[in-house]
Amino acid sequence: MNTETPVPDLAFSHVGLFVHDLERMEDFYRRVLGFTVTDRGELPAPSGRVGLVFLSRDPREHHQLVLATGRPPAVEFNVVNQVSFRVPDLPALRHFHAVLRDEPVSAMVVVTHGNAISLYFRDPEGTRIELFFDTPWHCEQPVREPVDLSRSDEDILAETERLARSLPGFTSREAWMADLAGRMGTPPGG
């Protein structure tokens, strides 16, 4: 690779998941996580027709998630490690935690990474989903400490800050972003 030629901009846009039950998974992502169906259809494939449902929560993105039929029935585990979605704050995380308690999800846990607070769970077909918001702090990763949502927002954020400050690499999120932008050769935020 020629290191003198700049690499063009690249931004993540969407992810696709093979599913067993397209209607059930569409319902879950629409009803529980608030996605809107932007398109649907079928395409020919070597193994037959593939049903597709395109979903988004961002009007600038035709789809952020595409669900596709054809997930093999005998796959031993889901090869997708996780799919992560950013929420604005702790009240939003609490909202989804409350809604998900009545859904067919498993392995629900809330943790802090110091630089984020996350709600992890497995969707109805076992894909690990992370809902998270960024904190104002940065610390070296990985970090995973439990969070008790019965505590107040102020207590949770204060404990997260104490944790982040106690770990290697502690700094503000803004300082970390500026440093990373410098290492990437891009302006902060862009």
Tell me the two tokens of residue 32: 């529980």
Q: State residue 1's pLDDT score.
A: 46
One domain for residues 54 and 81: no
One domain for residues 120 and 103: yes
One domain for residues 89 and 157: yes
Task: List pLDDT tens digits, range 28-50.
Answer: 999 999 999 999 999 998 888 99
One domain for residues 66 and 138: no
- At 16, the amino acid letter reads G
One domain for residues 99 and 115: yes
Rounded to 5, what percent of the chain is helix, strand, coil? Answer: 25, 30, 45
Task: List pLDDT tens digits, range 83-131.
Answer: 999 999 999 999 999 999 999 999 999 999 999 999 999 999 999 999 9
CATH number, domain of 2, equals 3.10.180.10
Of 22, 14, 44, 32, the C-alpha closest to 121 is 32
Domain count, the chain: 2
Domain around 33:
1-74
Q: Which residues of 56-80 are buried (b: 16+ CB within 10 A; e: fewer)?
A: beeeeeebbbbbbbebeeeeeebee
One domain for residues 19 and 64: yes
One domain for residues 180 and 95: yes
Cβ atoms < 10 Å from Cβ of 85: 16
Distances (CA, A) of 25 to 45, 56, 57, 121, 157: 21, 14, 16, 15, 33
Q: State residue 46's pLDDT score.
A: 87
* pTM for the full predicted model: 0.90
Q: State residue 164's pLDDT score.
A: 98
Q: State residue 134's pLDDT score.
A: 97
Q: Using the 3D structure, point to which of 74, 94, 112 is the last residue of a domain.
A: 74
